Structure 1
Amino acid sequence: MAGSAITYAFGGWSGILEILFLFFIVDYLSGCFASIKEGKGLRSTLGFWGLLKKGLMLLMVLIGHRIDLALGFNFVMSGVIYFWLSNELVSILENYSRLGMRTPEALAKVLAILQDRGEAEHDQTK
Structure 2
Amino acid sequence: MSGGDQHYYFGGGDHVAMHGGSGNVGIDKRVTPAQEVPPAVQEALRELLALAQELRAQVPPAGADALDGALPALRAESDVPPQERHRALLAVAGIAATIGTLGTPIIEATNKVLELMGAK
* Larger proportion of helix: 1
Q: Which has the higher contact order (CA 8 A, sep 6+)?
A: 1
Larger Rg: 2
* Larger proportion of strand: 2
